[in-house]
Amino acid sequence: MTASAAATRAAQTLSRPFTLGGRTVPNRIAMAPMTREFSPGGIPGADVADYYARRAAGGVGLIITEGTYVGHPAAGTSDAVPRFHGADALDGWSRVVEAVHTAGGTIMPQLWHVGMARKEGAPPFPDAPPSGPSGLSLDGTPSGHAMTQRDLDEVIAAFAEAAATAERLGFDGVELHGAHGYLIDQFLWSGTNRRTDAYGGSRTARTRFAAEIVAACRAAVSPDFPVLFRMSQWKMGNYEARLAETPDELQEIVTPLTDAGVTAFHCSTRRYWLPEYEGSDLNLAGWVKKLTGRPTLTVGSVGLDNEFIGTFQGERAGVSGIDRLLDRLERDEFDLVAIGRALLGDPEWAAKILAGRTDALVPFDSSMLRTLN
């Protein structure tokens, strides 16, 4: 295939609009949520608005923000991660929404509670103990507070309030962070959920907390307001962990979430091209779409030649082709593609891909994490 033909193929495949609930995303390219810690006091400033607006102006159809802490004292573990509560923080997010919309993009906040990933005594609320389903860290060590029913109800209400606030501020949907070993995922995973009440035990029971959050958010917003759910098998520091060893087990997890009102699933993998289960080429996003009938987003080292673990070790990531990605997108294995590090290093990555200017793409190195370009 000639360079011209390849560029035409990429443009035709990725430029198609896509409808999520009552919102239309102008193309199939999303910005993946990536924690940046450039919001002092939890308040996103003008630099954060400019950062997201540059990606929208650079051709990204849907921006999913970095994780934002919901209004619960134990939700966070840093005073530089943005919050999604409090007048000052919400004023900042209003300016972010306006900037992204002016640049022609759509935007959703990722709503986040870190659960047992919280460090004892950390900001923004030092007195709040780390909280999770069973008070267990990801390595199984007892190190925090096992949540009571009152705790669960408070967290569910905090997510619902944040979802309603997002719609009021003009966001185009919300994403619930149910991946990577944070609070919602801690309930889904048997390694951290040892409860013996209605929120623990079977795989379906472990899904109850997540489903109740989805249902509460769904009830708090308009019927066509998108509610996305981010999920993963792997956890931070435990890359071999799995929620489901088979498609049948995965069905037990995604069905209650679908029934609760998830609009689309954002399926986080480290390498999007790897099959999730033996006997099929489908990746995690492909399987979830097949099992639920809902739209899915794929993510995982798109456009780069190594995965994010190398980034943390100081390795440089070179530019990589997206032919395999286009193959999968053309056969509707998934519906949208989330780009992470490639967009951190190159705000115009999407525009360059859509225009066939692949020779102008910028490689990624870890120094780019230290600035908000």
Q: In the chain, how long is the greatest CA-to-CA distance?
A: 61
Asked if 78 and 42 count as a contact pair (C-beta separation under 8 A), the reply is no
For 289-312, how does the pLDDT look when each residue is reduced to its tens digit (9 = 90+)? 999 999 999 999 897 765 555 554
DSSP 3-state of 178: strand
| pLDDT tens digits along 185-231 | 999 999 999 999 999 999 999 999 999 999 999 999 999 999 999 99
Q: Where are the domains of the chain?
A: 3-366
Per-residue pLDDT at 184:
98
Residues 6-24 have pLDDT tens digits of 788 988 999 999 999 999 9
* Cβ-contact 129, 145 below 8 angstroms: yes
Which residue in the list 51, 69, 182, 272 is annotated as catalytic? 182
Contact 246, 291 (CB under 8 A): no
Asked whether 225 and 158 are in contact (CB, 8 A), the reply is no
pLDDT, tens only, 77-118: 999 999 999 999 999 999 999 999 999 999 999 999 999 999
Beta bridge pairs of residue 156: none
- The whole-number pLDDT of residue 366 equals 79
CA distance 277 to 272: 13
Tell me, yes or no, if 182 is annotated catalytic.
Answer: yes
Whether residue 352 has pLDDT greater than 90: yes
Share of the chain above pLDDT 90, in %: 84
CATH of the domain spanning 3-366, picked from 3.40.630.30, 3.30.1180.20, 3.40.50.300, 3.20.20.70: 3.20.20.70
Within 10 A of 22 (CB to CB), how many other CB atoms are there? 13
User: Higher confidence at residue 111 or residue 314?
Assistant: 111
| Matching residue, tokens 């053309």 | 330
pLDDT band of 318, cuts 50, 70, 90: low
- Residue 246 tokens read as 């088979």
CA distances from 123 to 7, 154, 185 (A): 47, 19, 22
Q: How far apart are CA 90 and CA 74, in angstroms?
A: 19
pTM flag (> 0.75): yes
Whole-number average pLDDT of the chain: 94
**Reduced to 3 states, what is the DSSP secondary structure of residue 213?**
helix
Nearest CA-CA partner of 227 in 237, 219, 239: 219
CA distance 34 to 31: 9
Q: Give pLDDT, residue 228.
A: 99
State the pLDDT confidence band at 45, using cuts at 50, 70 and 90: very high
Residues 123 and 146: their CA atoms lie apart, in Å, by 20
